């Protein structure tokens, strides 16, 4: 088993609500080597301020292009950016709360041998998000924040509920 401080974690989510949810999970990778990725470069200040307050170095941070599911060219750029980050960081674990960029990171990360966690956003109360649904095959830990969705799911109990971000 690796020492905590040797475990490389990639925490990735699009900016906005997904990012706010991801950041609330932070104690889960306390002590690990975390790298953050989101779709807005301005988020870096937030990490820097927080690190400053805690008297430590800010974690590595990368921004990728923001892309909705209709923006094919931007999506392709996003995939390539995510791939380059994965090659550079070589994470042992990838965790995402959504959306597209997190889906790509889990898909590609799995191919590169990472263990993967998907926590579907608490905003998806009636069904999983589109990315959350598509990521099923490559999420080692696949979580929803709605207990009733676990009961609805029929994939051999793979989808789990273990609490919420708020």
Partner 1 sequence: MIFLTVGNELPFPRLVQAVDSWCEKNGNCSVFGQIGPVGPNGYRPRHFEWEEFISPQQYHEMCDEADLIIAHAGMGSIITALELSTPVLILARLAVFQEHRNDHQVATARRFSARKGVLVAEDEHAVAGMIDSWNASRDVVETETVEPYAEERLIRVIRDFILNS
Under the binding rule (CB under 8 A), the answer on residue 134 touching partner 1 is: no
Helix or strand holding residue 86 (H, E):
helix 72-89
Under the binding rule (CB under 8 A), the answer on residue 45 touching partner 1 is: yes
Report the relative pairing of strands 8-13 and 33-38 from DSSP bridges: parallel
Under the binding rule (CB under 8 A), the answer on residue 71 touching partner 1 is: no
The pair of structure tokens assigned to 42 is 């301005």
Beta bridge pairs of residue 93: 9, 115
For the chain, the helix, strand and coil percentages under 3-state DSSP, each to the nearest 5:
40, 20, 40
Under the binding rule (CB under 8 A), the answer on residue 117 touching partner 1 is: yes
Under the binding rule (CB under 8 A), the answer on residue 107 touching partner 1 is: no
In the complex, the smallest distance separating the C-beta of residue 15 from partner 1, rounded to whole angstroms, is: 7
Under the binding rule (CB under 8 A), the answer on residue 110 touching partner 1 is: no
Q: Residue 65, Cα to own-chain centre: how many angstroms? A: 15
Under the binding rule (CB under 8 A), the answer on residue 27 touching partner 1 is: yes
Under the binding rule (CB under 8 A), the answer on residue 25 touching partner 1 is: yes
Alpha-carbon span 55 to 57, nearest angstrom: 7
Under the binding rule (CB under 8 A), the answer on residue 141 touching partner 1 is: yes
Beta bridge pairs of residue 95: 11, 117
The span of 51-59, 76-84, 102-110, 157-165 binding partner 1 (CB under 8 A) equals 157-165
Q: At which residue do the structure tokens 């980050």 appear?
A: 85
Alpha-carbon span 62 to 154, nearest angstrom: 36
Total residues contacting partner 1 (rule CB under 8 A)? Answer: 46
Q: Which residues bind partner 1 (CB under 8 A)?
A: 1-2, 4, 7, 9, 15-21, 24-30, 32, 40, 42-43, 45-46, 68, 92-93, 95, 115, 117, 119, 121-126, 140-141, 143, 162-166
């Amino acid at each position: 088993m690796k020492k905590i401080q040797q475990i490389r974690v990639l925490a990735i989510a699009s900016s906005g609500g997904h990012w706010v949810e991801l950041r609330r999970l932070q104690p889960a990778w306390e002590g690990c080597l975390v790298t953050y990725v989101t779709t807005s470069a301005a988020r870096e200040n937030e990490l820097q301020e927080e690190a400053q307050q805690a008297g430590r170095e800010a974690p590595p941070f990368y921004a990728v292009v923001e892309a909705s599911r209709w923006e094919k060219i931007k999506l392709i750029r996003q995939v390539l950016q995510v791939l380059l980050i994965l090659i550079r960081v070589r994470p042992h674990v990838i965790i995402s709360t959504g959306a597209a960029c997190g889906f790509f990171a889990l898909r590609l990360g799995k191919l590169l041998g990472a263990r993967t966690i998907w926590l579907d956003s608490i905003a998806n109360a009636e069904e999983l998000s589109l990315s959350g649904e598509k990521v099923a095959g490559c999420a080692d830990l696949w979580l929803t924040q709605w207990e009733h969705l676990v009961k609805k799911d029929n994939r051999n109990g793979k989808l789990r509920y273990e609490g919420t971000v708020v």
